[in-house]
């Protein structure tokens, strides 16, 4: 490729065939005996399984594993990690990889290999979905979720290190063979893997992966920037190396102990800066850069003075972050000068303490380069996630001992990441079930969820999901959730959000049924009154309600009397004088009981009737209300209708009490019992059997079933309402019954 830079030259130098075995085995010469033996044994174990196999890229699997082991060695990976690079690819050829590898190499190796293999499969599925245009999720959100998923799979850092090394080798292979690269693989490498390597401080993998991915995704732009650099990367690095030696020698001659390192810019870094800051190429001054690290702050300013006196400074590009640190605590001197040939060079000057803070503190390289819209990459960082990354950065220094640090094993145990059939990644709390998954995908999918397949196999809906599984939900055309889902002991729901959605559905159903009952009662009243043409919203407005449904709801709850509607529909009538409806009779003889078993205190032989709205029965606390032409209506004291009548016509209220009947047999009184239950076959029969067993005569039944819920009203005859409590308790024990109460 014309204008190719040094890292591309280095990339293409990697042969597509197998890496020499001695090179990998030689990495074990300084390893502890157990690890050295493990690496040799791992390669010997995997070779018969993978030597003649090919990856999807076309690369020989054993050659790929050899190259990955070499990459891991170059970045300081332990021999145990290098051994795992072979076991990962052996997993797919074993029926029970966890058991087999654990038996030969131990649980530590088995878990590492199986987790890494599972993560590879998940990422492959996601790329395939993208390639077939099935991926519809927001790209930026999906990228960040992929990053989180990488970490969620990582019980220790070795999984991440293995995936980074493997992905880099895959990119190198495509570069070496010049095969077309799947766009999904290149995008995932650029937007998920490279930033992760950056955050972990693995700079070598980061810059090489970025440049290779960008080269595959935007070859024309890459070529253009390479041409504008007007020199191959080898030439740029040589120029920087010469400048570095000159500066270091001159500072040493001035008595300043300085460590000078070159920082040649990479093509992708240049493009990001040009795009992020809307710069032309000739405005990017820090294409080449040096970093000078000195012992003290005084030395920083001495170096700055020397640099400005020996090169031509661009004073408008001087930034003193020592005198005025950045808000995140970053400190350094930044200046841009022109060398003898007139080319710009950025020089950063800092102490070792400042450098350590910049490399590992809150001003780490990834935070500066990926600070969102104010930075270069346009990738924002989230607080909780980045806090975990900060921990991982510190753990990286102790990678070799990580397997012996169980306190970090559960760092991401609070979340899991599963896939939809279209390979979209869904984040869930640990312990989540297919029902939680369904509600996360869409509320309606959750309501209509009836079954689930996990990795193609049918499972119960309360099965806890695991990282990397593919979940497919089977839905009904209509219907709603099961009340069992709200039973914590059954384990159907883990997510608070999903549980709230189920509760909201049932609350809405209860409200719907209440409104339906109220509407039916109001419409029947209007029909009796011959006012069916009246608009229901107008009626509700005249009664002080905002809508007809608001009226129906309080009527359905028995919180608003239909008598109020009757009074509105009928012309007002003048209340008769007291003498018109309370005839004065002779005093009742002691012990007399009027007809019907109701005693009207102070008045004898007065016609009485039991109110149908509340159906009183002994020993209920009762009140009397004198009606026009129908005698005294007897109500329960807590009857809402009676309270409204008494509030309007207090002079019609009289005291009443239950009398003792003359006959030996006690009279019976009708009472209404309201029952709510899950609808099922045989429900009416089972409840009727309870009434028969309790020797309670049922004289009327009304039932209504809507979407799996049965609403039933039984009218039963009892001599004593006190007995009703025992009957209701027995009804409540019938399977499916949710509530049983007296109306």
Identify which of 30-34, 629-633, 673-677 has the greatest average pLDDT: 673-677
Identify which of 515-519, 565-569, 698-702 has the greatest average pLDDT: 515-519
In a domain, 111, yes or no: yes
Q: Tell me if 77 sits within 8 A of 399, measured CB to CB.
A: yes
In a domain, 397, yes or no: no
Is residue 382 predicted with pLDDT exceeding 50? no
What is residue 125's predicted lDDT score, i.e. its pLDDT? 67
In whole angstroms, what is the distance from residue 472 CA to residue 657 CA?
66
Q: Are strands 632-636 and 656-658 parallel, antiparallel or unpaired?
A: unpaired
Which of 441, 467, 494 represents a domain boundary (last residue)?
494
- Looking at the fold, whether 490 and 520 belong to one and the same domain comes out as no
Q: Which residues contact 301 (CB under 8 A, 6 or more apart)?
A: 333
In a domain, 396, yes or no: no
Q: Three-state SS across 180-248? A: CCCHHHHHHHHHHHHHHHHHCCCHHHHHHHHHHHHHHHCHHHHHHHHHHHCCCHHHHHHHHHHHHHHHH
The encoded tokens of residue 734 equal 């019938």
Q: Which residues contact 325 (CB under 8 A, 6 or more apart)?
A: 331
What mean pLDDT comes out for the span 253-282? 75
- Looking at the fold, whether 202 and 149 belong to one and the same domain comes out as yes
**Position 334 confidence tier, pLDDT thresholds 50, 70, 90:** very high
End-to-end C-alpha distance for the chain, whole angstroms: 87
Neighbours of 522 (CB within 10 A): 21
In whole angstroms, what is the distance from residue 46 CA to residue 67 CA?
14
Q: Which residues pair with 598 in a beta bridge?
A: 658
What is residue 485's predicted lDDT score, i.e. its pLDDT? 93
What is residue 660's predicted lDDT score, i.e. its pLDDT? 67
- Looking at the fold, whether 598 and 510 belong to one and the same domain comes out as no
- Looking at the fold, whether 261 and 347 belong to one and the same domain comes out as yes
The encoded tokens of residue 731 equal 């009804």
Q: Tell me if 195 sits within 8 A of 370, measured CB to CB.
A: yes
- Looking at the fold, whether 213 and 225 belong to one and the same domain comes out as no
Q: Tell me if 167 sits within 8 A of 133, measured CB to CB.
A: no
3-state helix, strand, coil in the chain (%, to 5): 50, 15, 35
What is residue 451's predicted lDDT score, i.e. its pLDDT? 93
Is residue 553 predicted with pLDDT exceeding 70? yes
pLDDT tens column, 597-628: 566 654 555 677 888 888 888 888 888 888 87
Rounded mean pLDDT of the chain? Answer: 75
Q: Which residues pair with 678 in a beta bridge?
A: 709
In whole angstroms, what is the distance from residue 711 CA to residue 236 CA?
83
- Looking at the fold, whether 513 and 648 belong to one and the same domain comes out as no
- Looking at the fold, whether 539 and 582 belong to one and the same domain comes out as no
189 burial via Cβ count (<10 Å: 0-12, 13-18, 19+): buried
pLDDT tens column, 28-62: 334 444 444 788 888 999 899 989 999 888 999 99
What distance lies between CA 652 and its chain's CA centroid? 63
- Looking at the fold, whether 212 and 229 belong to one and the same domain comes out as no
**Position 590 confidence tier, pLDDT thresholds 50, 70, 90:** very low
In a domain, 285, yes or no: yes
What are φ and ψ of residue 62, in 5° steps? -65, -40
Which of 552, 569, 586 represents a domain boundary (last residue)?
569
Give the 3-state secondary structure of residue 523: helix
- Look at 61 and 19; give whichever has higher pLDDT: 61
In a domain, 134, yes or no: yes
In whole angstroms, what is the distance from residue 640 CA to residue 342 CA?
96
What mean pLDDT comes out for the span 192-197? 78
Residue that the structure tokens 């409590």 belong to: 725
In whole angstroms, what is the distance from residue 162 CA to residue 160 CA?
5
What are φ and ψ of residue 695, in 5° steps? 60, 45
Domains in the chain: how many in total? Answer: 6
What is residue 212's predicted lDDT score, i.e. its pLDDT? 92
Which of 366, 381, 396 represents a domain boundary (last residue)?
381
**Position 11 confidence tier, pLDDT thresholds 50, 70, 90:** very low
Domain around 448: 415-494
Q: Which residues contact 375 (CB under 8 A, 6 or more apart)?
A: 276, 368, 369
The encoded tokens of residue 209 equal 């992966």
Q: Are strands 697-706 and 656-658 parallel, antiparallel or unpaired?
A: unpaired
pLDDT tens column, 409-454: 444 456 777 877 765 667 888 899 999 999 998 999 999 999 999 9
Task: List the one residue out of 418, 411, 591 whose CA is nearest residue 494.
Answer: 418
Q: Which of 316-330, 536-550, 656-670 has the least mean pLDDT? A: 656-670
In whole angstroms, what is the distance from residue 386 CA to residue 393 CA?
10
In a domain, 361, yes or no: yes
In a domain, 392, yes or no: no
Q: Which of 400-414, 551-565, 629-643 has the least mean pLDDT? A: 400-414
What is residue 447's predicted lDDT score, i.e. its pLDDT? 92
Is residue 374 predicted with pLDDT exceeding 60? no
Is residue 228 predicted with pLDDT exceeding 50? yes
In a domain, 535, yes or no: yes
Question: Which CATH number goes with the domain that contains 452?
Answer: 3.10.20.30
pLDDT tens column, 145-173: 566 656 555 545 677 788 889 999 999 99
In whole angstroms, what is the distance from residue 105 CA to residue 177 CA?
35
What are φ and ψ of residue 351, in 5° steps? -85, 170
Q: Tell me if 719 sits within 8 A of 616, measured CB to CB.
A: no
- Looking at the fold, whether 144 and 175 belong to one and the same domain comes out as yes
- The DSSP call for residue 463 is P
Task: List the one residue out of 169, 55, 57 whose CA is nearest residue 117.
Answer: 55
Please provide the DSSP assignment of 535-599 as one string: -HHHHHHHTT-SSHHHHHHHHHTT-S-HHHHHHHHSPP-PPPPHHHHS---PPPPTT---GGGEE
- Looking at the fold, whether 228 and 336 belong to one and the same domain comes out as yes
Give the 3-state secondary structure of residue 739: strand
In whole angstroms, what is the distance from residue 407 CA to residue 56 CA?
37
Is residue 526 predicted with pLDDT exceeding 90? no
- Looking at the fold, whether 208 and 273 belong to one and the same domain comes out as no
Is residue 455 predicted with pLDDT exceeding 80? yes
What mean pLDDT comes out for the span 285-305? 86
Order the strands of the 737-742 sheet from edge to edge: 697-706, 709-718, 669-678, 737-742
- Looking at the fold, whether 366 and 342 belong to one and the same domain comes out as yes
Q: Tell me if 233 sits within 8 A of 262, measured CB to CB.
A: no
Question: Which CATH number goes with the domain that contains 363?
Answer: 3.30.460.10
Q: Tell me if 231 sits within 8 A of 267, measured CB to CB.
A: no
Task: List the one residue out of 622, 634, 628 whose CA is nearest residue 578.
Answer: 628
Half-sphere exposure of 557 (CA within 13 A, CB side): 11
- Can you list the positions of beta strands (E) in 322-479? 333-338, 344-351, 415-419, 425-429, 449-454, 457-459, 471-475
């Amino acid at each position: 490729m014309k204008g190719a830079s040094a890292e591309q030259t280095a990339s293409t130098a990697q042969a597509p065939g197998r890496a020499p075995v001695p090179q990998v085995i030689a990495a074990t010469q300084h390893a502890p005996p157990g690890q050295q033996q493990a690496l040799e044994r791992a390669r010997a174990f995997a070779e018969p399984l993978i030597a003649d196999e090919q990856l999807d890229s076309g690369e020989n699997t054993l050659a790929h594993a050899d190259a990955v082991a070499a990459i891991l060695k170059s970045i300081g990976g332990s021999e145990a990690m290098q051994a795992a690079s072979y076991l990962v690819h052996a997993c797919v050829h074993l029926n029970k990889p966890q058991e087999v590898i654990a038996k030969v190499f131990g649980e530590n190796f088995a878990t590492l290999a199986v987790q890494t293999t599972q993560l590879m499969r998940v990422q492959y599925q996601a790329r395939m979905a993208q390639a077939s245009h099935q991926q519809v999720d927001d790209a930026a959100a999906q990228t960040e979720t992929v990053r989180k998923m990488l970490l969620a799979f990582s019980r220790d850092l070795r999984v991440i290190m293995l995936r980074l090394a493997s992905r880099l080798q895959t990119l190198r292979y495509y570069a070496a063979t010049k095969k077309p690269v799947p766009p999904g693989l290149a995008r995932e490498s650029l937007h998920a893997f490279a930033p992760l390597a950056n955050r972990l401080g693995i700079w070598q993998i980061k810059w090489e992966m970025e440049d290779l991915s960008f080269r595959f995704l935007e070859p024309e732009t890459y070529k253009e920037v390479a041409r504008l650099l007007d020199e191959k990367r080898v030439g740029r690095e040589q120029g920087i190396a010469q400048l570095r030696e000159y500066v270091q020698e001159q500072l040493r001659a001035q008595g300043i102990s300085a460590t000078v390192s070159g920082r040649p810019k990479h093509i992708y870094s240049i493009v990001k800066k040009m795009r992020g800051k809307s710069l032309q190429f000739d405005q990017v001054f820090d294409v080449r850069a040096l970093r000078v690290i000195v012992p003290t702050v005084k030395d920083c300013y001495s170096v700055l003075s020397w640099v400005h006196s020996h090169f031509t400074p661009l004073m408008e590009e001087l930034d003193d972050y020592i005198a005025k640190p950045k808000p995140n605590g970053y400190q350094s001197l930044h200046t841009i000068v022109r060398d003898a040939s007139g080319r710009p060079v950025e020089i950063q000057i800092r102490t070792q303490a400042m450098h350590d803070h910049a490399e590992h503190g809150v001003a780490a390289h990834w935070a500066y380069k990926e600070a969102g819209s104010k930075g270069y990459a346009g990738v924002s960082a989230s607080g909780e996630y980045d806090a975990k990354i900060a921990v991982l950065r510190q753990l990286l220094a102790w990678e070799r001992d990580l397997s012996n640090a169980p306190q970090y094993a559960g760092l991401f145990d609070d979340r899991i990441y599963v896939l939809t059939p279209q390979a979209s990644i869904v984040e869930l709390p640990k312990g989540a079930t297919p029902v939680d998954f369904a509600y996360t995908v869409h509320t309606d999918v959750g309501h209509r969820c009836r079954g689930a397949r996990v990795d193609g196999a049918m499972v119960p809906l309360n099965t806890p999901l695991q990282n990397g599984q593919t979940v497919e939900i089977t839905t009904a055309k209509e219907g709603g959730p099961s009340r069992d889902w709200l039973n914590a002991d059954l384990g159907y729901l883990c997510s608070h959000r999903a549980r709230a959605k189920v509760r909201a559905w049932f609350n809405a159903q209860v409200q719907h049924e209440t409104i339906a009952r109220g509407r039916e009662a109001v419409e029947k009243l209007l029909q009796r009154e011959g006012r069916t043409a009246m608009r229901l919203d107008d009626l509700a407005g005249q009664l002080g309600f905002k809508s007809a449904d608001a009226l129906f709801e309080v009527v359905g709850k028995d919180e608003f009397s239909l008598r109020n509607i009757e009074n509105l529909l009928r012309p007002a009538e003048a209340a008769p004088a007291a003498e018109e409806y309370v005839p004065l009779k002779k005093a009742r003889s002691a012990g007399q009981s009027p007809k019907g078993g109701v005693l009207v205190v102070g008045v004898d032989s007065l016609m009485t009737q039991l109110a149908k709205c509340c159906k009183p029965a002994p020993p209920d606390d009762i009140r009397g209300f004198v009606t026009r032409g129908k005698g005294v209506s007897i109500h329960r004291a807590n009857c809402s209708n009676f309270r409204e009548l008494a509030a309007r016509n207090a002079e019609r209220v009289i005291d009443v009490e239950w009398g003792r009947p003359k006959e030996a047999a006690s009279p019976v009184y009708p009472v209404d019992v309201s029952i709510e239950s899950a609808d099922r076959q045989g429900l009416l029969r089972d409840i009727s059997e309870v009434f028969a067993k309790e020797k309670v005569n049922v004289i009327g039944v009304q039932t209504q079933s809507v979407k799996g819920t049965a609403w039933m009203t039984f009218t039963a005859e009892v001599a004593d309402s006190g007995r009703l409590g025992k009957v209701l308790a027995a009804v409540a024990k019938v399977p499916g019954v949710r509530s049983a109460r007296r109306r």
